[in-house]
Amino acid sequence: MRRFKRVINTGDKFTRLTVIKLYKKIVGKKYAKCKCECGSIKKVLVSSLISGNTKSCGCLCIEKRYFNNRIHGMRSSRVYRIWSGMKSRCNIPSASGYKYYGARGIKVQKEWKKFEDFYADMGDPPTNRHELDRIDNEGNYTKNNCRWVTEIQQGRNRRSNKNINIDGVKMTLSEACEKFGADYRRTLDRLNLGWNPLKAIKTKKCEYGDRFSSKFKDAYKKRREID
């Protein structure tokens, strides 16, 4: 198939460059004198104009480089550290917590690859006590699956949280302890010993054999081995 060469004339515009003069061929190559939108004058190969390889005097490349590497000024902020930690535990096998996130297939949505995009969606934590939390613990870090919650609220949403029934109402152990003013660790130990949930929650003082019996020590040792 015959290929037709494109003819350019003075006044033609290619992205930011406008042709103001055409030169005769120099060693078999044709050049054009162009004026850039920024005001600079540049001598450009005509073939580069037509192919799109040259779009400006160089100012466009500088602007793109600056835009892509712009400094947001938040590298030392808490929200930046939260974002960085989120990416590390999902993408870096040597990172602390990777086995609970990246190894389980938990990923960060591609739109949050840049901090600016994450910050635009989530903003700052309401207080220093708020942490980034996934609503669905089996889901990824996405805009629709993430929220800012306090440490207590985040604790209620952990995979390892224990659910119990108190007077026919299902709640997490942390919620039950908070509601009845019970000690979380003591109550958990009692449940591991086989106590009735209601008794474990409402018994305020340590009963004989509650915490120091050989039965407790054996149960505690087994639980530690499992963990």
How many C-beta atoms lie closer than 10 Å to residue 189's C-beta?
19
Distances (CA, A) of 106 to 95, 101, 103, 150: 14, 5, 7, 22
How high is the pLDDT of residue 1? 46
How high is the pLDDT of residue 219? 55
Distance of CA 128 to the CA centre of its chain: 18
Distance CA 98, CA 81 (A): 16
Per-residue pLDDT averaged across 91-100, rounded?
90
For 146-195, the pLDDT digits (tens) are 999 876 666 666 655 677 877 777 777 877 887 888 887 788 888 888 88
Element (H, E) at 17: strand 17-22
Q: pTM for this structure?
A: 0.46
